[in-house]
Structure 1
Amino acid sequence: MKNWILSPKQICDLELLQNGGFFPLTGFLSQPDYDSVLDKMRLVNGSLWPIPVVLDVSESFADSIALHDIILLQDEEGNALAHMRIHSAWKPDKTREAQFIFGTTDTIHPGVYTLFHKTNSIYLGGEIEKIQTPKHYDFKNLRHSPKEIKKIFHEKKWDRVIAFQTRNPMHRAHQTLTLIAAKEHQAKLLIHPVSGITKPGDIDYFIRIRCYLKILETYPENHALLSLLPLAMRMAGPREALWHALIRKNYGCTHFIVGRDHAGPGNDKNNQPFYHPYAAQELVKTHEEEIKIKMVPFQEMVFDKIKRRYIPADQIQSESDIARISGTQLRELLQTGAEIPGWFSFPSVIQELRKVYPPKHKQGFTLFFTGLSGSGKSTIANALIQKLHEYCIDRSISLLDGDVVRRMLSSGLGFSKEDRALNIRRIAYVASEITKHNGIAICAQIAPHANTREEARSLIIPYGGFFEIYISTPLLLCEKRDPKGLYQKAHAGLIKNFTGVDDTYEAPKNPDVMIDTSNSSVEDSVNKITDVLFKSGYLQSASQKIPLMETHR
């Protein structure tokens, strides 16, 4: 029996297939169901279902199995979670899927990026037979299956329950919104945050859950319940909102709050929203009778400085009376240690968030060098390390040099596009761990392909800063320098797939720093990089750290 090691996203999907959260699904979608979901938001049998849930696998794995085979699904530690009988195997048209599910092929959309760059090329569909549910060792008392939640509702005699979906910490606006909804509909509250995969860059769920536990204390007794949802979000806007409503119906809820831009990923490459802010509400409203869950629509809640309370945005009488703090502004306030007004959040929640957001000059970051062989990456990186030690007394600095990584971590890899991508993925993973622990990672490698550089960015950015440093030295000068004789060997045919000779280099379009060493000295190059770090707040000069002392005469 062949076995497949599930990705974190696939484990989330499997758990909800197993526990009934994805009812009426009993397994991963077959190809006919997948096509029907894309075209009609329905399974072949007519059941409403807006998001494809399939098992994506590599071509090599797909070639090793046949239809009607049974495969074993395992987690990363090798624990057997389920058997799956293969009913369908196909190569999807991912462009078509992106257009139908996300309404765009713009890879700035995190769902599209994941589909194009992190999803395997073959889809499998078939029934699953449960062996055990995925193991969780954290917050076990907050994890409930639909059956368990329904039992709690029954014991509490809660016959009207409003579900509130969230992937962000909750503040006073969210508390006000949920209390108004509960009062209007004479219902109780299920605070149902996502504990699976959310948007890259979101606050990690351990911190979020501690914030939820704090805000739960502010609700009246026997009024709200906190439970975690092991969902892998797709950030698919209106379709995803409808999906969330179906899931909450399976969890026994009678009502579901859909807010402004529900499950939206933000703006596209033209800085325009991917979805109309109330498109999700419109789609859920269209189907609420069929799915038998009442949608509770809400607008943005804003703070009225005159009335000293939160009001819906459509009740604003004068913009000058309104106060708002965006997510970006909140992060800036946390990072700088500035005071956060009491009208915005609860002190206990802010206290938890401050643990995650030390000032920027104490956070980790990655400097990701890219450029042709011989462009000067390693020379500048080594000089930069010396300069950084001048400012970074309490942060470790690690150099991940491309040649050293090749010897120590990637000695078995060649120079095909796939092997190059895996090598960069390994470097990015190590850099993300360094950054996560408030260290500084300096990565100096060719990294010729744009998609692998973007993948590195997405892996690191949740944990700290990421700066792409493009050493744009012209190819002719790199060939002239040729310190290791590699260009000479490549032109002689002794090295294959050598970047700049018989393999392409995709130049970054918007690097954070661009340096051409044909007209920039090492010292000037280092200063150009440190200037960016100072301006972004990741470095602080000695004069900023140490107050001037008075001279006593």
Structure 2
Amino acid sequence: MQIEYRAHGGELKDLYLSLNEAKQAKESAKELASWDLTHRQICDIELLLNGGFSPLEGFMSEADYNSVVDDMRLADGTLWPMPITLDVSEAFASDVTVGQEIALRDEEGVIIAIITVSDKWKPNKSNEAIKVFGSDDDAHPAVSYLHNVAGDYYIGGQLKGVSDPSHYDFKTLRDSPAELQQKFHKWGWNKVVAFQTRNPMHRAHQELTFRAAKQVEANLLIQPVVGMTKPGDIDHFSRVRCYEHIVKKYPDQTTMLSLLPLAMRMGGPREAVWHAIIRKNYGCTHFIVGRDHAGPGKDSNGNDFYGPYDAQDLMNEFKDELGIEMVPFQMMVYVEEKAEYEPIDNIQEGQTVLNISGTEFRRRLQEGLDIPEWFSYKEVVSELRKRYPARHKQGLTVFFTGLSGSGKSTIANALLTKLMEMGDRSITLLDGDVVRKHLSSELGFSKEHRNLNIQRIGYVASEITKNGGIAICAPIAPYKATRRHVREMIEPLGGFVEIHVATSLEVCESRDRKGLYAKAREGIIKEFTGISDPYETPENPELRIDTVDCTPDEAAQRIILKLENMGYIK
């Protein structure tokens, strides 16, 4: 039976070409200019093509983009809170013309879709950040992405889908909107409440979702995000294994698990409305919105980006227009006297509330400490212990940063020797000059090339860390955003310890045996860090060392003690 589903005032969009049309498109695409899609663009394009982002039919035009940024609506007035844009480099944009067809390919060169360009523009990213995310603070992951990762130009246009993005994992748990609607129809699920998550689920989450479904007499869809989440989050492979355990804790035939290939923006209230629209497109009738939905945490001043129930307030503002009902929920806490979970606002005076924060839970995992069964199911904890062993068994990156001549390489070599003496893990030194010679010999010293060099170091370090070794990196790494990118690349895989070798410019210059600083001051060497190009001082490194005050041996010993204190060595 063909199900006609009207999403957001129109039919559920399916932008894929027929098999014959797709075959012809693949042939003709050989003559087209190509753009290699980023990870976030791959996530976006999948939900554009399969209807998850209905009513959108492609990446936004400039008119739609401006209207969404300013008013949370497409140019035709349809409610839509999040810009969906194809960002490209200035170099690529300079060759693009309106009306042109461009082949959009994945990282392996497989064509996913063809876009017919309707618009090309350079956005005001600070304006986008402030209006969409409420802040232009780089501590917000979406703002950081806007300014430090996304291309400088946007391209809009309709899409023609040629092939699905490839997924080799959890195939039986991946459903398109149409496929999920068909399952609901087949099973007689007329009311479905969706639960959005990017974290492992523990007993409080299970209790919250069970109560939500019971409250509205609906079946439950657990639909975790497996595209892009907040940097540093637990990988989706580990999370999905946890979800597979927890879904068995619900009554039979009431609950199902399906994965959502979404790239989250951590946009708080706007994101909650966006998530609700997406779940409506997937055939859900209700959507759970809890405390601080899709919140990114705290800003650079230590304040929350959004209020705890701002998302619920914005959902209520559009409740008559959304076509999907919100099920609001508060934080659930464990009441010792009752031996059960209750909403935090229901707690009575004299009752003993037990709770373990996310930070405390991670600490217990890292240190191999007990995690009580009232907090999480043993099967979930077991899965997470596999992925996150105690810190002294994890891989680790020690990342030095500082001016040329500050003493980074000398301390790094001293640390290498001391760690090799211990002999419990393999150690690799990625010195800036050595990497330049063997890994980045074709790169110059422009800001773009220096960033690329650091990203290459970070990638190698991430692979070493992922496989349980210790990587010691000693580049100059002058830019805060690049260092942050490397940290975000490595932290989900193991430890990351930043060491700022804070030797002053005057001392570094006085030590300069190669005469590099002198040549930089004479203008012979261009864009030299500390002279003609800035060094952005780390704000919160794990350790700061000035080599004027200590010898390399003493500095290395300070680092050893810091690693011991943090639990990375035993």
Question: Is it true that 1:531 corresponds to 2:561 in the alignment?
Answer: yes
Contact preservation (8 Å) 2:397, 2:472: yes
What is the match of residue 480 of structure 2?
450
Question: Is it true that 1:327 corresponds to 2:363 in the alignment?
Answer: no
Question: Is it true that 1:190 corresponds to 2:221 in the alignment?
Answer: yes
Separation in structure 2 between the aligned mates of residue 503 and residue 336 of structure 1, nearest angstrom: 42
After TM superposition, list the pairs within 5 Å mapping 1:100-111 onto structure 2: 100-111=131-142
What is the match of residue 96 of structure 1?
127
What is the match of residue 119 of structure 1?
150
1:130-173 deviations in whole A, cap 9, x for unaligned?
Answer: 00110111100000001000000011011000001100111111
Which residue of the other structure, out of 194, 202, 208, is the alignment partner of 1:177?
A: 208
Separation in structure 1 between the aligned mates of residue 304 and residue 524 of structure 2, nearest angstrom: 50
SS of structure 1 residue aligned to 2:471: strand
SS of structure 2 residue aligned to 1:507: coil
SS of structure 1 residue aligned to 2:359: helix
Superposed displacement of residue 523, structure 1: 1.4
Which residue of the other structure, out of 509, 517, 522, is the alignment partner of 1:487?
A: 517
Separation in structure 1 between the aligned mates of residue 521 and residue 130 of structure 2, nearest angstrom: 43
Superposed displacement of residue 424, structure 1: 0.9
Separation in structure 2 between the aligned mates of residue 278 and residue 240 of structure 1, nearest angstrom: 13
Structure 1: runs of 5 or more not aligned: 541-553
Separation in structure 1 between the aligned mates of residue 260 and residue 414 of structure 2, nearest angstrom: 48
Which residue of the other structure, out of 391, 394, 407, is the alignment partner of 2:437?
A: 407
**97-106 vs 313-322, greater mean Cα deviation:** 313-322
SS of structure 1 residue aligned to 2:468: coil
What is the match of residue 77 of structure 2?
46
Which residue of the other structure, out of 162, 168, 185, is the alignment partner of 2:193?
A: 162
Q: For 1:408, give the aligned amino acid.
A: H
RMSD: 1.3
Separation in structure 1 between the aligned mates of residue 349 and residue 564 of structure 2, nearest angstrom: 38
1:236-284 deviations in whole A, cap 9, x for unaligned?
Answer: 0000000000000000001000000000011112222111101101111
Question: Is it true that 1:301 corresponds to 2:332 in the alignment?
Answer: yes
What is the match of residue 535 of structure 2?
505
| TM-score, normalisation: structure 1 | 0.95
Q: For 1:369, give the aligned amino acid.
A: F
Separation in structure 1 between the aligned mates of residue 488 and residue 526 of structure 2, nearest angstrom: 30
Contact preservation (8 Å) 2:395, 2:493: yes
Superposed displacement of residue 501, structure 1: 3.2
SS of structure 2 residue aligned to 1:217: helix
Separation in structure 2 between the aligned mates of residue 515 and residue 406 of structure 1, nearest angstrom: 25
Q: For 2:274, give the aligned amino acid.
A: W
What is the match of residue 397 of structure 2?
366
Q: For 1:462, give the aligned amino acid.
A: P
Separation in structure 2 between the aligned mates of residue 23 and residue 75 of structure 1, nearest angstrom: 22
Contact preservation (8 Å) 2:221, 2:257: yes
Question: Is it true that 1:32 corresponds to 2:63 in the alignment?
Answer: yes
Q: For 1:333, give the aligned amino acid.
A: R
Separation in structure 1 between the aligned mates of residue 165 and residue 136 of structure 2, nearest angstrom: 32
Superposed displacement of residue 475, structure 1: 2.3
| TM-score, normalisation: structure 2 | 0.93
After TM superposition, list the pairs within 5 Å mapping 1:376-415 onto structure 2: 376-391=407-422, 393-415=423-445
Separation in structure 1 between the aligned mates of residue 193 and residue 539 of structure 2, nearest angstrom: 46
Q: For 1:452, give the aligned amino acid.
A: T
Question: Is it true that 1:462 corresponds to 2:492 in the alignment?
Answer: yes
Separation in structure 2 between the aligned mates of residue 240 and residue 500 of structure 1, nearest angstrom: 41
Separation in structure 2 between the aligned mates of residue 346 and residue 237 of structure 1, nearest angstrom: 29
SS of structure 2 residue aligned to 1:295: strand
**7-16 vs 408-417, greater mean Cα deviation:** 408-417
Q: For 2:517, give the aligned amino acid.
A: Y
Contact preservation (8 Å) 2:337, 2:351: no
What is the match of residue 547 of structure 1?
none
Q: For 1:404, give the aligned amino acid.
A: V
Q: For 2:448, give the aligned amino acid.
A: E
Question: Is it true that 1:59 corresponds to 2:95 in the alignment?
Answer: no
Separation in structure 2 between the aligned mates of residue 492 and residue 295 of structure 1, nearest angstrom: 65
Separation in structure 1 between the aligned mates of residue 215 and residue 478 of structure 2, nearest angstrom: 57
Superposed displacement of residue 44, structure 1: 0.7
Separation in structure 2 between the aligned mates of residue 278 and residue 405 of structure 1, nearest angstrom: 48
Contact preservation (8 Å) 2:367, 2:567: no
SS of structure 1 residue aligned to 2:112: strand
Separation in structure 2 between the aligned mates of residue 286 and residue 502 of structure 1, nearest angstrom: 51
Question: Is it true that 1:270 corresponds to 2:297 in the alignment?
Answer: no
SS of structure 2 residue aligned to 1:201: coil
Superposed displacement of residue 488, structure 1: 4.1
Contact preservation (8 Å) 2:116, 2:159: yes
Structure 2: runs of 5 or more not aligned: 1-31
What is the match of residue 514 of structure 1?
544
Q: Is the alpha carbon distance of 1:320 and 1:437 closer, same or farther for their aligned partners in structure 2, counting shifts above 3 Å?
A: farther
Contact preservation (8 Å) 2:288, 2:328: yes
Separation in structure 1 between the aligned mates of residue 290 and residue 76 of structure 2, nearest angstrom: 30
Superposed displacement of residue 491, structure 1: 4.3
**133-142 vs 507-516, greater mean Cα deviation:** 507-516
1:526-553 deviations in whole A, cap 9, x for unaligned?
Answer: 111112111111111xxxxxxxxxxxxx
What is the match of residue 109 of structure 2?
78
Separation in structure 2 between the aligned mates of residue 504 and residue 171 of structure 1, nearest angstrom: 46
Contact preservation (8 Å) 2:335, 2:351: no
SS of structure 2 residue aligned to 1:441: strand
Separation in structure 2 between the aligned mates of residue 319 and residue 523 of structure 1, nearest angstrom: 55
What is the match of residue 2 of structure 1?
33
1:64-105 deviations in whole A, cap 9, x for unaligned?
Answer: 111110000000000000000000111110110000111011
1:23-73 deviations in whole A, cap 9, x for unaligned?
Answer: 000100000000000111000111100000000000000011111100000
After TM superposition, list the pairs within 5 Å mapping 1:350-361 onto structure 2: 350-361=381-392
Separation in structure 2 between the aligned mates of residue 110 and residue 496 of structure 1, nearest angstrom: 32
Separation in structure 2 between the aligned mates of residue 472 and residue 177 of structure 1, nearest angstrom: 48
Q: For 2:231, give the aligned amino acid.
A: P
Q: For 1:223, give the aligned amino acid.
A: T
Superposed displacement of residue 474, structure 1: 2.3
SS of structure 1 residue aligned to 2:210: helix
Superposed displacement of residue 510, structure 1: 2.6
Q: Is the alpha carbon distance of 1:46 and 1:220 closer, same or farther for their aligned partners in structure 2, counting shifts above 3 Å?
A: same
Separation in structure 1 between the aligned mates of residue 122 and residue 180 of structure 2, nearest angstrom: 38
Q: For 2:356, give the aligned amino acid.
A: I
Separation in structure 1 between the aligned mates of residue 481 and residue 132 of structure 2, nearest angstrom: 22
What is the match of residue 203 of structure 1?
234
Which residue of the other structure, out of 179, 183, 203, is the alignment partner of 1:152?
A: 183
Separation in structure 2 between the aligned mates of residue 273 and residue 491 of structure 1, nearest angstrom: 44
Separation in structure 2 between the aligned mates of residue 487 and residue 288 of structure 1, nearest angstrom: 63
What is the match of residue 291 of structure 2?
260
**470-479 vs 251-260, greater mean Cα deviation:** 470-479
Q: For 1:225, give the aligned amino acid.
A: M
Q: For 2:192, give the aligned amino acid.
A: V
What is the match of residue 291 of structure 1?
322
What is the match of residue 543 of structure 1?
none
Superposed displacement of residue 320, structure 1: 5.3
Q: For 1:438, give the aligned amino acid.
A: G
SS of structure 1 residue aligned to 2:459: helix
What is the match of residue 51 of structure 2?
20
What is the match of residue 132 of structure 1?
163
Q: For 1:534, give the aligned amino acid.
A: E
